[in-house]
A and B are shown apart, each in its own frame.
Chain A
Amino acid sequence: MELIDITVIWMGIIGLSVFMYVLLDGLDLGIGILYPFAPDEQSRDTLMNSVAPIWDGNETWLILGGAGLLAAFPAVYAIYLPALYLGVFLMLAGLIFRGVAFEFRFKSERTRPFWNAAFAGGSLLAAAAQGFVVGTYIQGFEVEGYTYVGGPLDWLTPFTTFTALSLVIGYALLGAAWGILKTEGITQRWLYRLAPWLLLALTLCLVGISTWTPLTQDRIMAHWLDNWTVLWPLPALGAGAVILYWQALRRRWELVPFFAGMALFVTVYLGLLVSQWPYMVPPAITFREAASDPQSQLFLLLGVLFLLPVILGYTAWTYWVFRGKVQAGSGYH
């Protein structure tokens, strides 16, 4: 037995990378989802510019998550991707259209409606596809050994459709909070009006998932009932985040909704992990069984420990260079 458990450290690193991605690209995608409903074209420009400097770097967390999974937990990489084959394609197609539409829209007149649709549609598609991944994770995978043996559309069920809808609403809420923080005037007022409804819808969705999951998954039900005394803070903190969010919207606070939304996502994310613990490919493969050779994990860990702080450092520096509220029309001329 080692003094330090590398696999647990890797669990933390991957968990953090995935969460960074969900949080950061979640708000980009949320802006894309809200985008068609914005009050006018000027607002749409402002919304787009509010995520313009960051979407590129945010997407890199997805690549790190993918490559990191391959390196540290190859079973997850080699089972999730085949199981979600068509969903993964839809997600990537969505991300491609979101990415390029983003850029081409500002240069276009005649083709602008097309790039508008590509931006909103691409964001929606990518968000929904990620929601299907979450649903499939809760639902579980049919495997033999380390090979996926289920059908091509196992990820498409009423339950996963519900989680997809929930994540779309969740991302829209993250996007709304980001928009409140980065915009002013008519756009911000519109978001203040819209956000309470999104918050209400997301809360209902989360209650729905929390009821539906244990009713269909005996193992998860037993897990929560057995450990209720330890796990109760998670739903309590989630409820607290919702109440705080609500108050912040009522009082027109700018920064608090963003952090309250983050807190809500943290509790839901931890709740999901706890529900399936210690399984990484439920219901068969634990995180320890999914792990790669400890020697490989160590080789990469050395690099991560040195490079991740450097990356976070220079990322923070560019956020600082491009700080401040987005002024309408100033983004790209």
Chain B
Amino acid sequence: MEILDPLLLSRIQFAFVISFHALFPVFTIGLAAYIAVLEALWYVKESPVYRQLSEFWVKIFAVVFGMGVVSGVVMSFQFGTNWSEFAFATANLLGPILSYEVLTAFFLEAVFLGILLFGRDRVPRGTHLFAACMVAIGTFISSFWILAANSWMHTPDGFEIRDGIVHVTSWAEAIFNPSLWYRFGHMGLASLLTGGFVVAGVSAYFLLRGRGLEMNRKALSMTLWLLLLVAPAQVFMGDLHGLNTFENQPTKVAAMEGAWETKQGAPLYLFALPDAEAETNHFAVGIPNLASLILTHHWDGEVHGLTEVSAEQRPPVAPVFWSFRIMVGIGVLMVLAVLWGLWLRLRGRLYESRPFLRTLELMIPLPFVAVLTGWFVTEIGRSPWLVYGEITLSEGVTPALSGWMALTSLLGYVAVYAIIFTAGIYYVTRIVRAGPGEVGPVEEPSHAKRPFSAADIPFDEDGDFTTGSR
């Protein structure tokens, strides 16, 4: 294979910039909802615990949201720079959908975020709560539109193609296409899981070190109740989403299951090394009939195999197969963790069990891994199609793009993101280490007006914690 292949390099670049970007919104969607709840509790109960929790998490939210914004600007140009034929062919449909995202969500988030971060002493309390809710709603609206666009690429509907150009025949069918609600539900719950496990892990971090006990117990308790609902719900939702994919994109499911031959009573492989050349799995360890049972709800149900389509029409099997196992494995760990939490709570030992708190702390990165591997499954599983069954990846790539141009931009994005990601992670870690402080009289709020400056933590070691940085 040629190394300077613009198609391959464009795919790597898109995978890189979208994966990097996805880490931020998936966290901020869940966290925005949590902050809105905290603000509502502060408004109703007036207990300073809620306000201090909210102010702590808003600092982290601001940094993560800011990085989401700058990496999101990049996304809005990727279709044009690297996938211009795809962009041109689908513009009638995807253009308005993406524009509606900007109009209904981005401005809402950007504007009300300013009020949420810096307007506490400038607007009435009710208005401040309203701003928190608007930010949270904005993040969900945004994910709705972007998932509508993405779902259409998986299960296109409500359109016809004339002279190679997509024309919309029904907006309702195009937007509410067959996989939209499954994907939206699955991603919405994933965002809550991500936000929830991060908050739980950080609360555990403080409890283990005996800091801010009252506040962090409250945070841990609230979050674990939420997760107790959401984690099992995600298992259910994931199953529904899988069944929807089984119906619409059987080849993708075949890759997820490592199913080469169409079979009745297909096994669920726990381990296997899929071999695309030989069209078989090596070292396969499976549970007989379980894949059929899960996918068809019948012991002997038929599961389509990859060999039903020609080799060019199959996605790369190994990455899909393994990403799927990692995602499901993390999902199982999450359910076990929340059940462990419930058991400890019933025995009154939730805040004392060090192994449990330590586990929560270590689980902080896991939801991010689960989200990324989940997206690997669905996106790699769609190839060779860009729009499933309609436009292939090689048809969509920019014709004028040469290999060295794509390589230059790819290396450039990797370098730029490496710098800002390192800085961002470092900064968030410092905010967490500095902590929310003890519950006490509420401090005079900041007058600053920029997202990141909601956090008055100096960026590097020499900075002065109390006065900012001057």
Give chain B nearest CB distance to A47 CB in angstroms.
13
Q: Across the two chains, which residue of chain B brings its CB closest to A153?
A: B405
- Contact B449–A52 (Cβ < 8 Å): yes
Residues of B within 8 Å of A, CB-based: how many? 84
Q: Is the CB of B114 within 8 A of A307?
A: no
Query: Which of these, A85, A107, A299, contacts B405 with CB under 8 Å?
Result: A85
Q: How far is the CA of A311 from the CA of B106 in the complex (A)?
A: 10
Q: How distant is the Cα of A93 from the Cα of B96 in the complex, in angstroms? A: 26
Residue A169 at the B interface, CB < 8 A? no
Q: How far is the CA of A292 from the CA of B67 in the complex (A)?
A: 32
Give the distance in Å from the alpha carbon of A322 to the alpha carbon of B450 in the complex: 11
Chain A residues positioned under 8 Å from B93 (CB to CB): 296
| Bound CA–CA A321/B447 (angstroms) | 12
Taken together as a complex, chains A and B put the C-alpha atoms of A31 and B279 apart, in Å, by 60
| A8 CB to nearest chain B CB (Å) | 18
A258 at the interface (CB under 8 A from B): no
CA distance A92 to B413 in the complex (A): 9
Closest to A300 in B: B96
A-B contact count, CB below 8 Å?
267
Cβ of B332 within 8 Å of any chain A Cβ, yes or no, is no
Closest-CB distance, B4 to chain A (whole angstroms)? 13
CA distance A63 to B110 in the complex (A): 12
Q: Which of A102, A106, A149, A322 has the most CB of B within 10 A?
A: A106
CB distance from A164 to the nearest CB of B (A): 19
Per the 8 Å Cβ criterion, residues 399-429 of B in contact with A are 399-402, 405, 408-409, 412-413, 416, 420, 423-424, 427
Q: B450 touching A332 by the CB < 8 A rule? A: yes
Is B46 located at the chain interface by the 8 A CB criterion? Answer: no
> Is B167 close to A, CB under 8 A?
yes
Task: Please tell me if the beta carbons of A70 and B95 are within 8 angstroms of each other in the complex.
Answer: yes
Contacts A95-B73, A97-B416, A322-B122 given: A107-B457 contact, CB under 8 Å? yes
A178 to B192 alpha-carbon distance, docked (Å): 42
Q: In this assembly, does A12 line the interface, its C-beta being within 8 Å of a C-beta of chain B?
A: no
Residues of A within 8 A of B123 (CB): 321
The proximity string for B residues 436-455 relative to A, scoring 1 for CB distances below 8 Å and 0 otherwise, is 00000000001111111101
- Are A92 and B106 interface neighbours, CB within 8 A? no
Instruction: Give the distance in Å from the alpha carbon of A52 to the alpha carbon of B448 in the complex.
Output: 9
Which chain A residues (130-176) contact chain B, with CB distance < 8 Å?
146-150, 152
- Complex contacts, B112 vs chain A, CB 8 Å: 314
| Stretch in B81-89, B242-250, B376-384 with 4+ CB within 8 Å of A | B81-89
A103 touches B447 (CB 8 A): no
Q: Is B92 an interface residue (CB 8 A)?
A: yes
* Alpha-carbon distance between A72 and B108 when the two chains are bound, in angstroms: 22
**B168:A295 contact, CB within 8 angstroms:** yes
Q: Is A83 an interface residue (CB 8 A)?
A: yes
Which listed residue, B101, B108, B424, B461, touches A67 by the CB 8 Å rule? B101
A183: min CB distance to chain B, Å: 15
Complex-state Cα separation, A111 to B461, whole angstroms: 10
Does A214 sit within 8 A of B, measured CB to CB? no
Residue in chain A with minimal CB distance to B106: A60
Chain A nearest CB, measured from B106 CB (Å): 5
Is B212 part of the binding interface, using a Cβ–Cβ cutoff of 8 Å?
no
A82-B398, A96-B416, A300-B99 in contact; A70/B79 too (CB < 8 A)? yes
| B168 partner residues in chain A, CB cutoff 8 A | 293, 295-296, 299
Q: Assess whether A67 is in contact with B412, with CB atoms less than 8 Å apart.
A: no
B359 at interface, CB cutoff 8 A: no
**With A52-B453, A315-B107 as given contacts, are A331 and B412 in contact (CB-CB < 8 Å)?**
no
B312 contacts the other chain (Cβ, under 8 Å)? no
Does B198 lie at the interface of the complex (its beta carbon under 8 Å from any beta carbon of A)? no
Confirm or deny: A221 has a beta carbon within 8 angstroms of a beta carbon on chain B.
no
**A85→B165 CA distance, assembly (Å):** 23
Chain B residues whose C-beta falls within 8 Å of the C-beta of A235 in the assembled complex: none
Instruction: Tell me if B95 and A96 are in contact (CB < 8 A).
Output: no
In the complex, the answer to whether A60 meets B107 with C-beta atoms within 8 Å is yes
- How many Å lie between the Cα of A150 and that of B171 in the bound state? 36
Residues A82 and B401 in contact in the complex (CB < 8 Å), given A100-B67, A103-B453: yes
Closest B residue by C-beta to A317: B111
How far, in Å, is B412 (CB) from chain A's closest CB?
6
Q: At the interface, yes or no: A233 with Cβ under 8 Å from chain B?
A: no
Choose from A102, A110, A332 the contact partner of B462 (Cβ within 8 Å): A110
Contacts of A103 in B (CB 8 A): 63, 66, 450-453
List residues of chain B with CB within 8 A of the CB of A96.
Answer: 70-71, 73-74, 416, 420
Q: Which residues of A contact B416 (CB under 8 A)?
A: 93, 96-97
Nearest-Cβ distance from residue B386 to partner chain A, whole angstroms = 14
Q: How far is the CA of A330 from the CA of B444 in the complex (A)?
A: 13
State whether the Cβ of A196 lies closer than 8 Å to any Cβ in chain B.
Answer: no
B310 beta carbon closer than 8 Å to chain A: no
A251 within 8 A of B: no
Could you mark each residue 36-63 of chain A with 1 if its beta carbon is under 8 Å from any beta carbon of chain B, else 0? 0000000000000100110011011011
Are A56 and B114 interface neighbours, CB within 8 A? yes
In the bound complex, do residue B399 and residue A78 qualify as a contact, i.e. CB atoms below 8 Å apart?
A: no
Interface centre among A53, A89, A146 (most CB of B within 10 A): A89
Is A79 an interface position by the 8 A CB rule? yes
Q: Is A83's CB under 8 angstroms from B102's CB?
A: no
Measured between beta carbons, the chain A residues less than 8 angstroms from B459 are 104, 106-108, 111
Q: Complex formed: what's the CA distance from A333 to B80 in Å? A: 41
**Closest beta carbon of chain B to A115's beta carbon, Å:** 8
**Which listed residue, A70, A81, A100, A104, touches B99 by the CB 8 Å rule?**
A70
Q: Give bound CA distance, A95 to B167, whole Å.
A: 34
Contact A104:B461 (CB < 8 A) given known A92-B77, A311-B107, A332-B450:
no
* B118 touches A (CB below 8 Å): yes
- B110 near A57 with CB under 8 A, answer yes
A60→B110 contact, CB < 8 A: yes
> Within 8 Å CB of B457, what residues of A?
107
Known: A59-B73, A78-B80, A321-B122. A93 touches B400 (CB 8 A): no
Cβ of B147 < 8 Å from any Cβ of A?
A: no
* Chain B residue nearest in CB terms to A108: B459
Residues on A facing B (Cβ under 8 Å): 49, 52-53, 56-57, 59-60, 62-64, 66-68, 70-72, 74-75, 77-83, 85-86, 88-89, 92-93, 95-97, 99-100, 102-104, 106-112, 146-150, 152, 292-293, 295-296, 299-300, 303-304, 307-308, 311, 314-315, 318, 321-322, 329-333
A-B contact pairs, 12 of them (CB 8 A): A59-B73, A60-B110, A78-B87, A92-B74, A95-B73, A96-B74, A108-B458, A109-B462, A146-B88, A149-B399, A152-B402, A321-B122
Known: A53-B450, A103-B63, A314-B107. 16 other contacts (CB 8 A): A52-B453, A53-B114, A70-B80, A81-B77, A85-B400, A89-B409, A93-B412, A99-B70, A107-B457, A147-B399, A293-B92, A293-B167, A295-B168, A299-B96, A303-B100, A333-B456
- 4 tightest CB-CB pairs across the interface, nearest first? A71-B95, A81-B80, A103-B452, A74-B91
